[in-house]
Structure formats: structure tokens, C-alpha cells
Amino acid sequence: MNVSAQHSSGLKIPFDYQRLDRLMDAAGIDVVIATSKHNCQYLLGGHRADFFDYMDATGVTRYLPVFVYPKGAPEKAAYIGHRLEKFQREVNPMWTPETQTSTAGSVDALQKATDYMRKAGIKTKRIAAEFGFLPYDAANVLRAAFPDADWVDALYVLERQRAKKSADELAKLKIASEAVLESMQAVIASHGPGVTKNEVVEALRREETNRGLTFEYCLITCGTSLNRAPSEQKWEKGEIMSIDSGGNYHGYIGDICRMAIQGKPDAELEDMLAEIETIQRAAMKPVRAGVMGREIYAAATPLRDKSKHHNHLDFLGHGMGMVSHEAPRLTSHGPVPYPCEYADMPLEAGMVISVETTLLHSTRGFIKLEDTMVVTDKGHEIYGEGARGWNRAGTAL
């Protein structure tokens, strides 16, 4: 899944553990306790519990994976998983020296993890836990076990770790992006006037699934409506449609948006989409390793501001990967505000960034393009390139 590194102990670790050690050292962290599905999947090199892939609850508690990583000591790393994960473990053993697959819920998962940490003699002066992914009952167990510890949120360190993708991760993101694009093209070509938004989304789900993806979502608009939820609204002759979908390939999300129309676009629609395309290309142009993250906004914002549609135009740039909005986070303003620590940090080769420009027009409807690109030493590469203009619906009928 990630870049495998051979440790002096003989362990083959599926991520750049030396990078993680540096990040932890800079933050003064002794041990990271990951409890989100995506971070555990990353740190384990691809493992994700089959039974709990898209659900957590077992009635009285929730599923909680626990990955323990002590700084500078991967030979003491541990994974605590659910009892049903033992079957996957038998087929594909985890790399962690300590692996337990015997939990039933959140409390016993943290109890087993803290018991192991004491037994292994792991330093716990400053602990980083995933605050947003730690249930209250499990957090109580953790704090009771180490009452004198200093606590920090593991979000920033783990996001920075995942922000720089390996070649294997990039390959998965490229496959996901291209499969989403191909699925959109197939659906648009095979649906004529009178189809509902629900029918388009269901067709897209099948197309993405048939291409090996797990369908994640589709935000879809039709006609002049700005409502992005699937519904029984019909897509009639002459109307536009925006399709914004994410498909997951082995943990990595391809997320793009393209436009379609039942019929032929007029000059105004052509001009609107061309302007959006211009902003998209401008935002991508400065991207290369070493450039400050803020340069993406510096390139796109002036074009947005001088547009005659500027009051209804939004631009957003954000990281992509195992999560559809992750590091690098570049802005504290706009439609989805983030802490913008990456605005004043240089982009690194292997970072993946989504740029999206949206026009919410009162009489023409919702018009948007979203693209995914990877930062390279010499520039950038777009994943899922193509179909950027007005895609004509029903051409395969």
C-alpha cells in the first residue's frame, strides 16, 4: 500500500516510519494511538476489517481498531483488532510485532492496548490520540491508564505523514480517478431526456463498481436547480447536469466533477464553462515541488475576483487521498474553510491536490469542474484528465 521500509529488526514496515519518527519528534510526541479506520489502514499497509468496512455499531458498542506506534521503536508497534479480523489475519498477517484480534467493542479495545503499552514499557509522557475518532468510553479508559500524560491530537502528525504519497498510493489514486471519469462518460452517453437524478446516480454506482471501485457518493444537480441530492427530478431536453462523484479503490478516492447537457450548449453556457476551465488551469499552473501552497490560490483568486460572476463563483483547493478532504490544507476561507498551515509550507512531490471551481448561477444552474493532480519535482500530473467540456447526453442511444 505504501513505501515498504526494512527495519534493523527485520520488520518490513509498509510506510515511511522514519518520516513519522521525525514528525513525532518535532511535535514532542512519544507515542501515537490511531483509532480511525483510514489511519489504521494506512499504518497496517492496507488492512481494513471486512465486516466493519462501512459500519461501526454492534448494538451496545462500536468497532474500534487501535494502532499503537511508539516513536523510534517500530519493533514495539501493536495492532488491536476485533475478533472477526482473525480470519483476515490468518490469510494476510499484519506486520506489527504485537497483534491481537480478540476485541468486541471500544472499551476492551483500549483496555487491551493500554495493557500492552505498560507491558512493553512504552514511554507515555506525551500521547497523541485521534480526538475526533475516539469514543468517550474508550477515551476514559485511555486517560485513566495514563493520568499524568500530556495529550495532543494526532490529526496533524498523521495527516502530514499521509500527505506525501508513495508510488503505490499514487497508482491507486490514478486508477480511481480514471475509473470515475470513464464511469461518468458511460452514464452520460447512455441516458437521454426524462431520466431521473436517482437513475443517473444508480447507473453511476454500477459503472464504478464494475470498474473495481467502491462507490462513495455522487453530488448531482439538474437543470437550473442548485440542489445536489439525488432525487426523482427529471433531466429534460436542453437542461444541464453536474456530476461530482467519488469512487474508492483499495482505500484511495478518485473525486472529479464534470458537466453534461441534454442537447447542445448555447454560447453563454460555453463561455461559463470555459471561464471555469481557465481558473482551473491557472490554479494548476504553478504547482510543483518546492512551491508554497498559497501560490495555488494566488493564481486562481484574481481570475475569480475579476469575473462578472464573482459573487457566485467559489474556488477551493484541498488535499486528496484516503480521505476526500485531507492535507495539504491550503485555506481558512471559502466554501470549506480549514486551518491553513500548508499555505506557508512548500509542496512536496507526492502530494495530491484537488482544485474545484463552482458557479452557482440563478438562471443557468450549477456549473463546476473538479480535478485531481499529483505534485511532481518538475510540475504536476492530472489524474482523470478529459471530458472537461459539455458532454452530450444520450449519444450512445
- The string of pLDDT tens digits covering residues 192-240 is 999 999 999 999 999 999 999 999 999 999 999 999 999 999 999 999 9
DSSP letters spanning 346-360: B--TT-EEEEEEEEE
Q: Counting Cβ atoms within 10 Å, is residue 361 exposed (0-12), middle (13-18) or buried (19+)?
A: middle
Mean of pLDDT values over 267-275: 98
277: pLDDT strictly greater than 80:
yes
Q: Does residue 149 share a domain with residue 114? A: yes
275 is written with which cell numbers? 471561464
Phi, psi of 277 (to 5 degrees): -60, -40
Three-state secondary-structure class, residue 246: strand
Closest to 32 measured CA to CA, from 66, 56, 65: 66
384 is written with which cell numbers? 482523470
12: pLDDT strictly greater than 60:
yes
Domain presence at residue 397: no
- The string of pLDDT tens digits covering residues 311-347 is 999 999 999 999 999 999 998 887 777 788 899 999 9
14: pLDDT strictly greater than 90:
yes
What confidence score (pLDDT) does residue 334 get? 72
Question: H-helix or E-strand containing 381?
Answer: strand 380-383
To 10 degrees, the CA torsion angle through 205, 208, 209, 211? 160
Query: What percent of the chain is modeled with pLDDT above 90?
Result: 93
The total of structural domains in the chain comes to 2
Q: Does residue 276 share a domain with residue 158? A: no
Q: Does residue 141 share a domain with residue 174? A: no
Q: Does residue 114 share a domain with residue 10? A: yes
What confidence score (pLDDT) does residue 4 get? 58
Q: Does residue 173 share a domain with residue 236? A: yes
Residue 107 sits in a domain of what CATH number? 3.40.350.10
Mean of pLDDT values over 359-367: 97
1: pLDDT strictly greater than 90:
no
Query: What percent of the chain is modeled with pLDDT above 70?
Result: 98
- The string of pLDDT tens digits covering residues 167-196 is 999 999 999 999 999 999 999 999 999 999
Q: Does residue 122 share a domain with residue 48? A: yes
Q: Please give the residue range of the domain that contains residue 323.
A: 167-392
Residue 383 sits in a domain of what CATH number? 3.90.230.10
Res. 5 pLDDT band, cuts 50 70 90: low
Q: Does residue 189 share a domain with residue 49? A: no
Domain presence at residue 129: yes
